[in-house]
Structures are given as C-alpha cells and as structure tokens.
Chains A and B, each alone.
Chain A
Amino acid sequence: MKRLLILFVATMMLLVTACSKEPAKTTTSQKSDKNAAGQKISEKPIEVSWFFSANTPYTGDEEIFKTIQKYTNIKIKPVSVARADYTQKLSTTLASGSLPDLITLSSSEADRYGPQGAFLDLTPYMEAGKLDHYKAMLEKYSPAMDLTRSPNGKYYGFPRIYDVPYRADEVMLGRTDIFAKNNLSTKFETFDDLYKTLVQLKKLYPDSYPYFVRWGSGHLIGNQAYYRGTSSTFYLDPEKEKYLFGPTSQAYKDTLVYLNKLYSEGLLNPNFATISDEEWNELLATNKGFVTIDYPQVGDEIVQQMGSKIPQGFEFTAMLQPAYKNNRVGTPVLSGYFQSYKVISNQTKYKDELVNLLNWMYSPEGIDAMQFGIEGESYQKNSDGTVKFLKDFQTPATPNGSITNAGLNTQELFTVVNQTAINTFELNGAAMKKSVSFLEENQAFGKAVLDAKFSDTNAKKEYTDLKTAIDTYVEEASVNVIIGKKSIDTWDSEVIPQVKKLGSDRALKLINKAYDETFKK
C-alpha cells in the first residue's frame, strides 16, 4: 500500500514538473519585436485590458469584442464598472499607477493626467502619419483639433465624434395622440399659444397636470429659459461669440413669470422639484401629463416597457417648440467633437498596436465594425446603404432581440457614430423616427455649440466654485418665484445684487477668457 502511494506521488510530481515547464517556453518565444508592428493593426494576437463604465458587466465574449479581435488581432479584456462607481475606480487606478492598457474617460481627466505622464502622447505618432484617419476626422470637424489638444500642446485623447450634421438631443415632446384626438395643434407659435393649449388640456383632463418635466427644478427652468434664448446660468451666445449670464436677462424673468402662471393655474406638475422617473412614467402612461421636454428616444422606450398595457393609440413624439419674441431657438443637437475620450496608458506593452487600433476606429471599416459587428456575419449592407442585421440583436426596431448586450453602438466603446448608425439604431424606433422627421420638416433643430475649455486648472476651479454657489442660489430664488413665495419684483432688487456679490462678474470674465483661448481669437 505504502509503495503504491509513493509511486502515485512520484508520478504526480513528474507530471506537475513536466506541465509547468511547457508554458514557460512559449512565453519567451512570444516576445514581440516592437518595430515589426508596421501598418498592420497588430501582427501577432495580443490581449489588452480596456476600462470603461457600463450598465451591465462585460465579459469579453460580446459581439463587439469578437469583432475587434477578428479585424485587428487584438483581444480585449474589458474592465467595466457601474457608472456610479466609475469615478472612484478611475481615481484609485490612476493613483495606484497600474493602469489598464486602454481607458475611456472625459476630456478633463485626459487633460489633467495626460501631462503628468499617465497617458501616451500621440503627437509623435501623428507626425509620423500613423494617425491618418484620426487626424482626418478631427480636421473635418473644426475646432475638434483645438479642443482635443491638451493645455501643454500635446495630444492624449481620442475624442468621440458625431460624424453627422446633427443628432437630436432634448426636444419638446408630447402626447401627440391626445393632441390629434382633441384637434390641438402640436406646433406652438408662441409661449402664449402653449399656455392656451395647456389650459384646454386641463379642461379636458381635470385631474391632470398637462406640463410635466422630470429631473428637478433646474431642468424645468433651464429648458424654458433655453427656448427663450437665455439660460439659468452662464451660457455661450453663439452670435455674440461670448458667454453671458442668463438670470440677469428679461427673458429669464419672463420664464419665471410664465412658470409661475402655469404653477398657480394647476397646469404644471407641482412635484416638479422631486419627481422621480417612475412617477413621471406613471403620469405619462395614465394620461396625467401631456407636454414635456425630454429625449425623443423615450417615446419608443415607454412603448416597449408598457407592452400590451399601453393606452390605445399611445404616441409620445416631438412637438414644435414655441418662439420667443419671433425667434424660434433651435433644439440642442450634437455634431462633431464630443468630450468623451479614449486614452492609451503610458505603461502598456502594446503602444503601436493600440495607436493603430484607435486610428482604425476612425476609419470607415472601423466605424462600421464598432457599430454593426462583422460584415457578412453580424450584418450586411443593402444596396441602398441601409444595414440588415444577420443576428438577433436587441435594437429599438427589434426590442425583443435575444442578444441584449452586444456592445455595438455603445457610447463608451465606439469612437465615431455616423448617419448610417443613427439610422440603424435610434431612428429605427417608430416614435423617434416620427419625432426626427417632424422636427426636420419644421426646421426645429439648432446648431451644435461647443463649450469653452479651461487650460488653467486654477481658473477652472475658481470658475466651478463660483458657478456652483451662484447656480444654487439662483435655482432656489427661481423656485420661490415659481411657487409664488416671492414676487418677481424682488428679482432685480434682491436676487441680482446677491448674485453679483457671489462673484458672477468674475466668473463671466474667467469663462470668456477660457473661450477666447480655446478658439484662438
């Protein structure tokens, strides 16, 4: 028995040593020659980690990562955390000095940590012509180059680009089915027009609050102010090419008076400051709210979530925003540069390969791959240029698709979104399609506005601190006017002097200086 045992142990030992020797050899032979990278994205199969935030943890087996591996020979090991935890995880990772190879982060983080040496400087690669697609795309959307450049004059980030003239952001939305049923116009000429319509709706549905906006009082006031050509804070006036402070304007006071009228007549949801998404959904689904300002995609989402329980004929699509003093302000849109970046860690073993990978993401092949997957396997292009998926992906058009987490058309992952992608994903939802074509017909879309960027961190901090204090104070004072606790007559005599005292002039000076520096005037 003892002998048998010894024999067994001896064979095991032999096996173990034999096995452990094997992989050691292969790793030494795998060491790559750095200069051999050349034009190919990655000659040898490599594996890199990629840190980003996501609603659901990615495993690395998703369609998008298979696609990247297929086209580039690079296997991605995703490190994804919930959005709420993203900042914390990012700061510990940065502080610890052991970075993932690839990181998705905001422009301000790239500008802050890039010059400290955390991220790969792209300037030499750009000069060597290795970032041709990247450069071409950024130059197409001027001033993307200026905005991407860090204060120290170097480039660290690969910004997300909306390669379209405009992509809808928030718009005025409403229950168009109820409007049609009651013969009400969805094209508001003036704010008074909107008010009259709300009064009529209240008569028809007495237990409703026709105007209902979610995400707090700031969102409610901000939108109303925006469509009057002003803002509840510092904002860029694209015509004057400088920043102004909204609350001092007559338009802002008109906003507050208007909202106060809606509030006192029961036309505005009185819970506007605290309403949750769930409550808002409920109001929408039970005919207790009709007009709002929100994202047009919601029109499809709610239909999908409600399923068969949706009220007969339910439709929640865009309306035409009212004009203020004969000027109809276009809805906010996205186009070109967006301040979400991808950066390459300075510690990565695969600098050349990753530069090639990111450059590829700006190329036509890369854009399509990141949006639709592998051509011929995941999708095919029809003769008219539209995309037909060959797999059962979940998209707005196919909400019950079995592949729910493909990673395609995912903002944290792709770098460029083009019109085909927007048509394929967003605009395939019935409500979204209708909203966008309605807004296009009525020329309701505005132009993309790019904000100033601070090059001086101290100035940025000073501005942010001042702005936070001022915004908080203005919001509180505004809500008091809306709910009738204070008269609008006190605005100029009490609120504005206090705002000045809090440093609004100084903040305005700082942001305008930053604006001039950013756009090289």
Chain B
Amino acid sequence: MKKNPNKIKEPMGDRVFLSFVYIILAILVLVMLYPFVYVVSVSISDPAEVIAGKVTFFPKGFDLGAFKTMIDHPIFFTAYKNTIVYTALGTSFTLFFTAITAYPLSKDKFQMRPFFSKVYLITMFFGGGMIPTYLAYKSLHMLDTIWVMVLPGALSAFNIILMRSFFRNIPESLSESAYIDGATDFQILVKVILPLSKPILATIGLFTAVGIWNGYFNALLYLNDIDKYPLQMILRNILVSASFNPAEKDAYSQLNHSATESLKMASIVITTLPIMCSYPFIQKYIVKGMMIGSIKG
C-alpha cells in the first residue's frame, strides 16, 4: 500500500507511549491466553510427554485418547444433554422471572415498591443454610428432579436489582406514550421495555448460563440419580481428588489414579468449549450502547 505523503506524523512522544501500550497489551494477552493454550495442548498431547514435563506451550505428540476416554464414559452423552437442558431451562426461567419482578419494582406508581424491594434485599444477606434448604426442597418433592436444578436459582435479588436499575434508566416518557396509545403494563413490558433491555438481558442471561453450566454443587447435594447428573459431576470426579493425608493408613487409596493430566485437561476442554464459543456472540449485546435512537427531539 502506498503511503499517504500528507499524513500527519504522530509526535515522537505519542509513538513511544503507544508502543508501550501495545507491549503491555501483548503481555497481558499472553498471560491470559497461555492457560487456555496449555490446557488444549496437554489435552491433545501424548500423556507420556506430559509426565516427562515436555509440554510447555505447543502440544508434543498427538493423542486423542483422552477425549476418547471422556466420550466413552457411560453417562457422557446423557450428562451433556442434561447440562444443556438445565442451562437452557434455567436461563429462560431466570430471565422471565427476573423481568416480571424487576418491572413493577422499577415503577414509582407501584405503592408497595419499597416494601417488596426490602423483602428481596433481605434474601441477599440471609440464607436458609445448607440443611434447611435441603429439607425445604425435600418437602417440596423437588429432590432428584429436573426442577431442583432450574428453579431455586431462578430469582436472585442481585439480578432483580440489576434489571430494576436498568429499567429505571429507560425514560418514563416511553412508557407514558405507550399508555396514551392504550397499552397495558404487560404490553409495555413486552413490547417497549424488554426490546430496549437486550444488553441487560444478555448480561444476566450469560452470567446465569455460565453459572448453571459450571455448577455442580446443586447436583451434588440434590441429585442421586446418575441419569440426571450434569456434565460437571463427571468433570469433578475426574479433576478433584480429596484432600490427601499421607499420614493416614492406606492413604494410597485416596489418590486419584485413574486420571492422567491429559484426561483432566481434555475434560476441561470438552466441558468449557460450548460456553467459550457462545461468549463472543452474546458479548456484542453487552457492549452495545443501550438507548441508540429510542427518543427523538
């Protein structure tokens, strides 16, 4: 490409500054990318090379055995399907319930607003505790069902506050003009407010989805039926061995022998891939400005 002779040269100081910025950014990118590259490299490397400590950045040897072991796991596909179902259902529930709760709380004309705001706020600071919660789910007959995986987290006070603040930033004039045109509250929420709230929906949706996708704790406590286990339960079995106390007799049995480093990394790759792939697509909504062109004049 031909250089433009009329281009204004940047002052020396700026160029030095910029190159420093680029160098620092490049280092940051390396620091953040390295763990990912390492995980992928180890997962496709020959396990023997991994043990010998020869894999540092690029894969050595090529072996998909670890992935095969994962896929051959008897409940791998069931668990994968479960995770997808839990994530999809759980995220939809969260968005739906949060939106219909946050909307009235964002309206000044709702007279009970301060009271209900406080009621929700309290749940942010006080929880039932593990065992009472377990007993509550038990008496609701939710244990060992899909519902215990998708309902309990559906309404979080934090999300409500986030969404309520977002709704409150949408100019009241929009709702008012919709009222004048004869819209009901529900219509306003669905046709005016929500279409304007894509960024917050995307943000909460993404966080919830990632949370459910990565979550194992509810499954651990509330599910006994292996056919309902999400993927993370297998991943956890492979990755986490118990705190190991060599002073105990027969501590050897506590060691996690079955999983090689490659298998551990392969399981991480398999489980995180879908969520990593969807990130860039949802991210654009989060970054996007929220109110472009909604009000004129």
Q: Residues of A with Cβ closer than 8 Å to B?
A: 49, 53-61, 78-86, 88-89, 92, 95-96, 98, 100, 169-170, 215-216, 218-219, 222, 233, 278-279, 281-282, 285-286, 295, 297, 301-302, 305-310, 332, 334, 338, 404, 411
Contacts and interface: CB of A to CB of B under 8 A. Distances in A.
30 contacts: A53-B242, A55-B257, A55-B259, A56-B73, A56-B234, A56-B237, A56-B258, A57-B237, A79-B226, A80-B226, A83-B242, A84-B240, A85-B220, A88-B221, A92-B131, A92-B221, A95-B134, A96-B135, A98-B138, A215-B246, A279-B53, A282-B52, A286-B52, A305-B48, A306-B51, A306-B52, A307-B46, A307-B47, A310-B48, A338-B250
Contact of A78 (B46, B73, B130, B226): B226
Interface string B197-216: 00000000000000000000
B256 interface: yes
B9 interface: no
Given A79-B224, A96-B131, A219-B246, A282 B51 contact: yes
Contact of A56 (B52, B130, B238, B240): B238
Contact of A82 (B130, B138, B240, B249): B240
B60 to A, nearest CB: 10
A54 B49 CA distance: 27
B275 to A, nearest CB: 21
Contact of B74 (A61, A286, A295, A338): A61
Contacts of A60: 226
B53 A286 contact: yes
B227 to A, nearest CB: 8
Given A49-B224, A56-B237, A309-B49, 17 more contacts: A59-B226, A82-B236, A82-B242, A83-B241, A84-B242, A84-B243, A170-B246, A218-B247, A219-B246, A233-B247, A305-B47, A305-B260, A306-B51, A309-B51, A310-B48, A334-B249, A404-B258
A38 B205 CA distance: 59
Interface of B: 46-49, 51-53, 69, 73-75, 130-131, 134-135, 138, 143, 220-221, 224, 226, 229, 233-234, 236-238, 240-244, 246-247, 249-250, 252-254, 256-261
Given A92-B221, A334-B250, A86 B242 contact: yes
Contacts of B259: 55
A216 B244 CA distance: 11
Nearest to A307: B48
A60 B98 CA distance: 40
B224 A85 contact: no
Given A81-B220, A338-B250, A55 B256 contact: yes
A160 B259 CA distance: 25
A96 B222 CA distance: 11
A332 B249 contact: yes
B134 A55 contact: no
Contacts of B74: 59, 61
Nearest to A87: B242
A305 B51 contact: yes
Contacts of B135: 96
B75 A88 contact: no
Given A55-B256, A59-B226, A278-B261, A285 B51 contact: yes
A411 B46 CA distance: 30
A433 B45 CA distance: 31
B155 to A, nearest CB: 23
Contacts of B258: 55-56, 404
A59 B250 CA distance: 26
A302 B51 contact: yes
A301 B256 CA distance: 12
Given A59-B74, A334-B250, A96 B138 contact: yes
B253 A411 contact: yes
B247 A219 contact: yes
B43 to A, nearest CB: 15
Most buried by B among A83, A310, A334: A83
A96 B131 CA distance: 7
Contacts of A95: 131, 134
Nearest to A302: B51
B138 A59 contact: no
B247 A222 contact: yes
Nearest to A339: B249
Given A305-B48, A307-B47, A309-B49, A215 B244 contact: yes
